[in-house]
């Protein structure tokens, strides 16, 4: 009797046993289709000794329906899936889904039907049709994908197909990718770069677990250095994976990679069309994709011969996934490297305290690049005391900053104003009755977006048209915008410098790699004088003619005071400063703050990163906060407030007592309502030696709650909202 255990892609189900029918061969890791009631589900065969399942007699087993002709998921990936589920207290099937995100890719189909604009203008050109055709432009995709791009329903696209304005095309999806050439155009490295590169090359050749912290100032050439490690992986016929914190950074990366290796790497991110996803997944799973660059989701793909992982901008909080499986891609990357027995490189100009600590205790090997490439100097930093030099009424830019912008315009050099807030104003209120526009689904103000003439909630996406009158007192034209967003700063710049050419860079304007490419091209061509942007512009970009950075509100990130507020502020301002003066021209950074004496401002201005980190690290150690202690959050939510509160109290009452562990709360979350759900939080704080996951698993396993209540565990939380 041939039986096997299968982990199905359904988070609500445990592993199930099946019979392997005659003529089918499977092994652990094989990807199969299994029957479940009347349904057919995809799953992976697993070692029975590693996953418990209910015992079912041989005679009651149903046979597997199909085994895909694909390489089985390799043991290191299977162990990674188990570890991730265990560590982050997530259903193992939810983790498996991250390895098999494109079920379409499992089929061996060689082509797929996509659609594109023909150029024929339909007789009946409704505004919707016109909008769809314009937005789609040259792009291709499934009907659904084109509908999303066009901002219309599927029906509109189908109507356009009927009218002959859009046509079907067969797209082959198994075209091979070009192979990057490790010797295409290698740079001549500087001494420090060469030393670091040599060490990484030998680590790749040794093919052993080796975690590296590549700590180099902005513009020091970290990318060039880890490119050498990638070259070594390609030479050894191994795959390399580069994780980036945002897809907006993919485009500049692709260009640089192409210049170095002669062709593009394989990209993996949420912006891919289904056909691209299928092609990429199959190439990754077969080993044909040599170098993959992607967002955190690329981490769980089934690379059969991974030889190197690079996490670029490794300090970025966006590597932490906040929904579903709440994993931290940086930490899981290190675990994958360990299981695969390969090196992993965490690259950053502002490493996280956690990573620095690992380097200090010798767990990570540290590679330092202390200077900018080519003799470029780090920019000069100065604070503007907003109490001493306040902006004029109704403005947000102090006189010194305005003067510096003026000087830069005259010198035909580019400037960047950084404010980490999208939209026009973070709060709108009625001057007459004091009414404030709040999101109906969240504990959050509605943010005015003047370009789109709407108010939007940045938490749930709820939008409403910007009203003329106050909904409360009905007074007309009584609404005032409070506080600045990037759009408002852009208005101020336009009023001050009507002749300046400006660009706003936020996720509202740069929502695809193509948009990012367009922005980069305009910057490089000198078509932009002043960029006004959110954190999206703080990293990755290299514009030699950008010589002035103005930080509009350096205090912004310090409000709210979570564990990492000062660290994050330091990193963000350091990163954005790193955009200034990267070429031969010297850069200058002006930081607007109300508290220039705050330690974080002093450290930024004085350039004393080490002192700042030492003080922060001491504070963490004293409070037994990560990395010296452990945190886990339990978030209880429901559409019904009483039900959420009752469940949270019940969980709180059931809290086990352990030495060196305390449970705080439940308390209403700072975001007490999110997407229509009321939220309460408990926080577990323990010393490092406490097996927190095991304790929480037992604890929550003994409590029952209604299906309408959601209980999510966030291990090593980064958000405290
Ligand atoms: P970082 O990632 O550390 O901020 P980059 O890798 O972006 O720095 O390097 C900054 C700039 O210097 C880039 O334009 C890069 O191409 C260039 N550069 C760095 N090292 C070299 C080198 N050895 N030879 C030529 N150009 C280099
Ligand atoms: Zn909302």
Centre of ligand 2 to C-alpha 97, Å, is 28
- Choose between 610 and 199: higher pLDDT: 199
Q: Report pLDDT digits (tens) over 324-334.
A: 999 999 999 99
Structure tokens belonging to residue 128: 């919707």
Q: How many CB atoms lie within 10 A of CB 653?
A: 9
In percent, the amount of the chain with pLDDT more than 70 equals: 99
- Choose between 517 and 392: higher pLDDT: 392
> Is 189 close to ligand 1, i.e. is its CB under 6 Å away?
yes
- Choose between 175 and 180: higher pLDDT: 180
> Is 221 close to ligand 1, i.e. is its CB under 6 Å away?
yes
- Choose between 25 and 104: higher pLDDT: 25
pLDDT, mean of residues 457-475: 89
Q: How far apart are CA 54 and CA 325, in angstroms?
A: 25
pLDDT tier at 209 (50, 70, 90 boundaries)? very high
DSSP-assigned letters across all residues of 175-186: PPPPPP-TTSS-
Structure tokens belonging to residue 478: 């009584």
Q: Report pLDDT digits (tens) over 24-41.
A: 999 999 999 999 999 999
Could you give the angle at which helices 609-622 and 353-360 cross, rounded to 10 degrees?
A: 90
pLDDT tier at 662 (50, 70, 90 boundaries)? very high
Q: How far apart are CA 301 and CA 323, in angstroms?
A: 19
> Is 193 close to ligand 1, i.e. is its CB under 6 Å away?
yes
Is the bond preceding residue 199 a cis peptide, omega within 30 degrees? no
CB 486 within 8 A of CB 504: yes
Phi then psi dihedrals of residue 377, to 5 deg: -90, 155
* Predicted local distance difference test score (pLDDT) of residue 540: 75
* Predicted local distance difference test score (pLDDT) of residue 542: 85
User: Model-level pTM?
Assistant: 0.90
> Is 222 close to ligand 1, i.e. is its CB under 6 Å away?
yes
Centre of ligand 1 to C-alpha 453, Å, is 41
pLDDT, mean of residues 230-240: 97
Beta strands, E only, 74-195: 111-117, 166-172
The overall average pLDDT reported for the chain is: 92
> Is 224 close to ligand 1, i.e. is its CB under 6 Å away?
yes
Q: How far apart are CA 262 and CA 256, in angstroms?
A: 10
Protein residue whose Cα sits closest to atom 5 of ligand 1: 221
- Choose between 267 and 453: higher pLDDT: 267
Q: Report pLDDT digits (tens) over 61-81.
A: 999 999 999 999 999 999 999
Centre of ligand 2 to C-alpha 402, Å, is 35
Closest Cα partner for 67 from 98, 42, 47, 101? 42
* Predicted local distance difference test score (pLDDT) of residue 560: 67
> Is 543 close to ligand 1, i.e. is its CB under 6 Å away?
no
Burial, 110: exposed, middle or buried (Cβ in 10 Å; 0-12, 13-18, 19+)? Answer: exposed
Helices first, then strands: H and E counts in the chain: 19, 29
* Predicted local distance difference test score (pLDDT) of residue 18: 96
* Predicted local distance difference test score (pLDDT) of residue 561: 63
> Is 216 close to ligand 1, i.e. is its CB under 6 Å away?
yes
Cα dist from 167 to 106, 121, 260, whole Å? 27, 12, 38
Centre of ligand 2 to C-alpha 462, Å, is 5
Q: How far apart are CA 177 and CA 171, in angstroms?
A: 15
Residue 336 confidence (pLDDT) above 70: yes
Centre of ligand 2 to C-alpha 534, Å, is 20
Q: Report pLDDT digits (tens) over 494-506.
A: 999 999 999 999 9
pLDDT tier at 227 (50, 70, 90 boundaries)? very high
Q: How far apart are CA 269 and CA 276, in angstroms?
A: 10
> Is 541 close to ligand 1, i.e. is its CB under 6 Å away?
no
Centre of ligand 1 to C-alpha 223, Å, is 7
Residue 175 confidence (pLDDT) above 90: no
pLDDT tier at 510 (50, 70, 90 boundaries)? confident
CB 268 within 8 A of CB 295: yes
Sheet holding 463-465, edge to edge: 447-449, 454-456, 463-465
Number of the ligand 1 atom closest to the C-alpha atom of 222:
3
Residue 187 confidence (pLDDT) above 90: yes
Q: How far apart are CA 210 and CA 337, in angstroms?
A: 8
Protein residue whose Cα sits closest to atom 21 of ligand 1: 221
* Predicted local distance difference test score (pLDDT) of residue 1: 52
Q: How far apart are CA 434 and CA 428, in angstroms?
A: 10
Protein residue whose Cα sits closest to atom 6 of ligand 1: 221
In which region does residue 303 sit, left (phi positive, over 0), alpha (psi from -120 to 50) or beta (all else)? beta
Q: Report pLDDT digits (tens) over 370-384.
A: 998 988 888 999 999
Protein residue whose Cα sits closest to atom 24 of ligand 1: 187
> Is 513 close to ligand 1, i.e. is its CB under 6 Å away?
no
629, β-bridge pairs: 687
- Choose which residue among 373, 374, 377, 585 to substitute to test ligand 1 binding: the one with the highest number of ligand atoms within 8 A of its C-beta: 373
pLDDT tier at 91 (50, 70, 90 boundaries)? very high
> Is 187 close to ligand 1, i.e. is its CB under 6 Å away?
yes
Please tell me whether residue 473 adopts helix, strand or coil conformation.
Answer: coil
Ligand nearest to the CA of 437: 2
pLDDT tier at 538 (50, 70, 90 boundaries)? confident
């Amino acid at each position: 009797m041939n039986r096997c255990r299968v982990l199905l892609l359904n988070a609500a189900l445990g592993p199930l046993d099946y019979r392997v029918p005659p003529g089918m061969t499977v092994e652990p890791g094989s990807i199969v289709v299994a029957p479940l009631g009347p349904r057919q589900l995809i799953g992976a065969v697993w070692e029975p000794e590693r996953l418990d399942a209910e015992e079912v007699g041989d005679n009651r087993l149903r046979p597997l329906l199909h085994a895909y002709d694909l390489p089985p998921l390799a043991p290191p990936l299977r162990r990674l899936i188990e570890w991730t589920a265990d560590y982050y207290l997530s259903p193992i099937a939810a983790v498996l889904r991250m390895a098999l995100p494109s079920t379409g890719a499992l089929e061996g189909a060689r082509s797929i039907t996509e659609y594109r604009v023909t150029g024929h203008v339909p007789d009946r050109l409704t505004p919707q049709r016109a909008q769809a055709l314009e937005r789609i432009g040259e792009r291709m995709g499934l009907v659904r994908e084109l509908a999303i791009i066009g901002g219309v329903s599927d029906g509109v696209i189908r109507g356009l197909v009927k009218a002959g304005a859009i046509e079907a095309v067969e797209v082959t999806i198994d075209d091979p990718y070009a192979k990057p050439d490790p010797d295409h155009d290698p740079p001549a490295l500087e001494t420090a770069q060469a030393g670091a590169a040599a060490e990484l090359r030998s680590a790749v050749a040794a093919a052993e677990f080796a975690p590296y912290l590549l700590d180099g100032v902005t513009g020091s050439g970290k990318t060039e250095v880890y490119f050498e490690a990638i070259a070594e992986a390609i030479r050894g016929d191994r795959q390399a994976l580069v994780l980036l914190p945002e897809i907006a950074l993919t485009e500049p990366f692709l260009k640089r990679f192409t210049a170095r290796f002669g062709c593009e790497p394989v990209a993996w991110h949420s912006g891919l069309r289904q056909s691209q996803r299928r092609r990429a997944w199959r190439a990754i799973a077969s080993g044909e994709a040599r170098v993959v660059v992607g967002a955190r989701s690329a981490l769980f793909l089934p690379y059969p011969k991974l030889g190197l992982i690079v996490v670029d901008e490794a300090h970025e909080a966006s590597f932490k996934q906040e929904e579903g499986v709440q994993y931290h891609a940086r930490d899981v990357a290190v675990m994958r490297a360990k299981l695969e027995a390969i090196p992993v490189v965490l690259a950053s100009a502002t490493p996280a305290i956690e990573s620095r600590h690992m380097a200090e205790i010798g767990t990570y090997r540290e590679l330092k690049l202390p200077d900018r490439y080519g003799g470029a100097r780090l920019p000069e930093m100065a604070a503007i005391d907003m109490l001493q030099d306040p902006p004029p009424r109704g403005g947000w830019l102090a006189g010194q900053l305005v003067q510096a912008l003026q000087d830069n315009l005259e010198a035909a050099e580019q400037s960047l104003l950084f404010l980490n807030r999208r939209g026009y104003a973070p709060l709108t209120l009625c001057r007459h009755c004091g009414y404030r526009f709040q999101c109906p689904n969240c504990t959050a103000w509605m943010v005015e977006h003047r370009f789109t003439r709407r108010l939007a909630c940045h938490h749930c996406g709820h939008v409403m048209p910007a009203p003329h009158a106050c909904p409360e007192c009905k007074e007309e034209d009584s609404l005032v915008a409070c506080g600045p967003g990037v759009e408002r700063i852009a208005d101020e710049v336009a009023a001050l410098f009507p002749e300046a050419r400006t660009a706003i860079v936020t996720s509202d304007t740069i929502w695809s790699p193509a948009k990012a490419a367009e922005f980069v091209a305009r910057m490089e061509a000198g078509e932009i004088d002043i960029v006004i942007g959110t954190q999206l512009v703080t990293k990755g970009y290299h514009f030699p003619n950008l010589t002035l950075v103005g930080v509009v509100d350096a205090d912004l990130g310090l409000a709210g005071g979570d564990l990492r507020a000062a660290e994050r502020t330091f990193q963000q301002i350091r990163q954005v400063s790193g955009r200034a003066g990267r070429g031969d021209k010297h850069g200058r950074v002006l930081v607007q703050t109300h508290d220039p004496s705050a330690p974080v401002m002093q450290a930024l201005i004085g350039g004393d990163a080490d002192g700042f980190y030492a003080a922060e690290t001491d504070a963490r150690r004293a409070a037994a906060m990560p990395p010296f202690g452990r945190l886990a959050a339990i978030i209880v939510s429901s559409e019904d407030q009483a039900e959420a509160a009752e469940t949270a109290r019940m969980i709180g009452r059931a809290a086990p007592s352990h030495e060196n562990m305390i449970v705080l709360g439940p308390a209403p979350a700072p975001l007490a309502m999110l997407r229509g759900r009321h939220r309460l939080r408990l926080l577990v704080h323990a010393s490092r030696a406490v097996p927190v996951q095991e304790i929480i698993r037992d604890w929550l396993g003994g409590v029952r709650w209604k299906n309408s209540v959601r209980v999510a565990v966030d291990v090593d939380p980064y958000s405290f909202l």
